[in-house]
Structure 1
Amino acid sequence: MDFREYIEKTVPVSDADWQLFSSKLENRIIKKKSTLLEVGETENHISFIEKGIARFFIPKEDKEKEITFGFCFKNEFISAYDSFLTRKPSLYQIEALSTMSVWSISYQDLQEVYEKTAMGNLIGRLSSERLFLIKSKREQSLLNETAEERYLNLFTERPNLIKEVPLKYIASYIGVTAQALSRIRKRIS
């Protein structure tokens, strides 16, 4: 599915709007294990993932203690959205877990698209709603579910995550050690 198809699943886009919007898009290839955004950098893009997987994490000196708190996949928007909106430095990093192809629009270009097209506000709304729902669901999960329930829900809702993401990141994401995740996996198999 291409970016325009994805957007037009929600609302039709005029050719003129698409022309302006797509002229602002930059296709970026990000190599596996590369950093899309460092702690302390201000996010300057909202991107649409055409291919690949990224993780959001809080780095620690001891790599084993890094806290993974999010993943993004193909046909999803990706951004350190809080930093993007506030224009303040990010408190976390985004890393490519596989080689990624993304379509990015800069903050400045997006403001122009907002002003000049009907579609601009739709893009803003779609990306912010998507990023908000992921964040909200994760918070609810951490507050209301056991680690085992979080793992089983991940398995059901995002089976690609279990297949394509290293277990140490999944363990961190559900809030347990790798050893605890191993015990959970043994119990449910």
Structure 2
Amino acid sequence: MNKFRHYLEAIVDVEDADWNYFSSRLIKREFPKKSIFLNMGDVENYISFIEHGGVRLFIPKEDEEKDITFGFCLQNEFISAYDSFLTQEPSLYQLETLMDTTLWSISYADLQEVYKNTKIGNTMGRFASERLFLIKSKREQSLLNDTAEQRYINLFEERPEIIKQIPLKYIASYIGVTPQALSRIRRRIS
């Protein structure tokens, strides 16, 4: 939980009273590798900070090889099926751990209380939502404007930890190519 506080303090001054109120509502959740912790059709009730591990966001298909991976979040990032969290409607995708993962999570109801009762609540909520929005927006722009090779290069330059930690089949799906096409892209680049 200390990592989470240090992360927040890099964004905003956190008074002890606010931290104590906020942290008393956090739930530590631990999942082994390959755990689906939000199924498609379930309502997302948490926004979480990844203390350790990594998560992929994906749309499942009958043939697992055709699952569509459209996002990754790693250590020191927020994770949520955020559209479902905000609307409290069923999620259209799933969240799965890519390695053993530890999350510090706050429920929708508890977050509303933090917003009302602390000085940092709204700033923290705004920051988390802005980060999630920017990642989503950047990905959409890249899909519209860049070639698959450029998307891979951008991923390599902007988030090299993903290239090191995420299986290539998920990276291929993320940039919109088959694993074989990704292998050809990697050979051309190297």
Q: Which residue of 1 aligns with 2:65?
A: 64
Corresponding residue for 1:12? 13
For 1:100-133, what per-residue CA distance to the aligned partner results, in whole angstroms no more than 9, with x for missing partners? 0110000010011111111111121111011001
Return the alpha-carbon distance in structure 2 between the equivalents of residues 164 and 13 of structure 1. 32
Are 1:53 and 2:27 an aligned pair? no
SS in 2 for 1:89: coil
Q: How does 1:1-189 map to 2 (within 5 A)?
A: 2-189=3-190
The alignment's C-alpha RMSD in Å is 0.8
Instruction: Name the SS of the counterpart of 1:33 in structure 2.
Output: coil
What TM-score does the superposition give when structure 2 sets the normalisation length?
0.98
Aligned-residue identity in percent:
69
Q: Where does the alignment leave 5 or more consecutive residues of structure 1 unmatched?
A: none
| SS state at 1:27 partner | strand
AA aligned opposite 2:50: I
Give 5+ residue unaligned stretches, structure 2: none
Pairs aligned (count): 189
Matched residue SS, 1:68: strand
Aligned residue identity for 2:73:
C
Q: Which amino acid aligns with 1:44?
A: N
Task: Using structure 1 for the length normalisation, give the TM-score.
Answer: 0.98
Measure, in 2, the Cα distance between the counterparts of 1:175 and 1:119: 39
